[in-house]
């Protein structure tokens, strides 16, 4: 395991180590990918917790309920594995597969200016929430916004009319009073 990594701005968080599993140094992983086992397709991870960064290689992994259990190369001690808790699992942005058509990664939507059908600037996409029914955009106000309200918008076709990554804009069908 080494301490080098891709530049921080090039890293995408795809999961998090939450605890140890068993006595052989395996770790429990919460995956942010869909489906969750897509995380296992990336053999090299950059682990990040605050200013601490580690490079590790995945030896093997499996789905267990709604989490993953992963074995990392050279990690065979439960107590050492315990020190890996709370590390984010990152990969280089360039490792993500290309998406087809009108699909986007969440990181691409973060920071987009949200404009409704009347041209009102509602805010900027801060982050997304995964709910059971559909994903939700958390839109936070900024200096150029219509008002100072945070809004939760469904990330659905009826709501999201157009995404223009080059312009940094998302056009939505959404009443400013909501």
Distance CA(44)–CA(131), nearest Å, equals 29
State residue 18 phi and psi, 5-degree precision. -105, -30
Q: Are residues 19 and 72 in the same domain?
A: yes
CATH of the domain at 57: 2.40.30.60
Q: How confident is residue 100, by pLDDT bands cut at 50, 70 and 90?
A: confident
Distance CA(123)–CA(178), nearest Å, equals 13
Between residues 57 and 132, the one the model is more confident about: 57
In the chain, which residue ranges form alpha helices assigned H by DSSP? 78-82, 106-109
Q: Is 35 in a helix, a strand, or coil?
A: coil
Picking from 109, 110, 99, the residue whose alpha carbon sits closest to that of residue 162 is: 109
pLDDT at residue 101, as a whole number:
83
Q: Is 141 in a helix, a strand, or coil?
A: coil
Q: Cβ(137)–Cβ(128) under 8 Å?
A: yes
pLDDT single digits (tens) 150-166: 999 999 999 999 999 99
Distance CA(71)–CA(121), nearest Å, equals 47
Do the domain assignments include residue 100? no
Distance CA(30)–CA(16), nearest Å, equals 5
Q: How many domains does the chain have?
A: 2
Place of tokens 């955009």: 137
Q: Are residues 58 and 115 in the same domain?
A: no
- Give the pTM: 0.76
Do the domain assignments include residue 2? no
Q: State the DSSP code for 37.
A: G
Structural domain including 148 reads 106-172
**In b/e form, how buried is each residue of 54-63, taking b as 16+ CB within 10 angstroms?**
bebebeebee
Q: How confident is residue 4, by pLDDT bands cut at 50, 70 and 90?
A: very low
Q: How confident is residue 89, by pLDDT bands cut at 50, 70 and 90?
A: very high
Distance CA(20)–CA(98), nearest Å, equals 33
Distance CA(120)–CA(158), nearest Å, equals 18
Picking from 108, 135, 107, 110, the residue whose alpha carbon sits closest to that of residue 125 is: 110
Do the domain assignments include residue 149? yes
Domain boundary among 51, 66, 95: 95
3-state helix, strand, coil in the chain (%, to 5): 10, 45, 45
């Amino acid at each position: 395991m080494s301490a080098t990594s891709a530049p921080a701005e090039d890293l995408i968080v795809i999961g998090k180590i939450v605890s140890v599993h068993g006595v052989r140094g395996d770790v429990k992983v919460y995956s942010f990918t869909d489906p969750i086992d897509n995380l296992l397709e990336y053999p090299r991870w950059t682990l990040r917790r605050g200013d601490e960064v580690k490079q590790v290689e995945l030896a093997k992994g499996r789905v267990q309920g709604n989490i993953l259990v992963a074995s990392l190369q050279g990690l065979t001690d439960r107590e050492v594995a315990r020190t890996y808790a709370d590390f984010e699992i990152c990969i280089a942005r360039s490792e993500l597969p290309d998406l087809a058509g009108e699909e986007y990664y969440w990181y691409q939507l973060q920071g987009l200016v949200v404009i409704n059908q009347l041209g009102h600037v509602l805010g900027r996409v801060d982050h997304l929430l995964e709910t059971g029914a559909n994903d939700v955009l958390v839109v936070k106000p900024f200096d150029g916004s219509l008002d100072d309200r945070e809004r939760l918008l469904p990330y659905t076709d009826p709501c999201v009319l157009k995404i223009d990554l080059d312009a940094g804009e998302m056009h939505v069908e959404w009443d400013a009073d909501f």
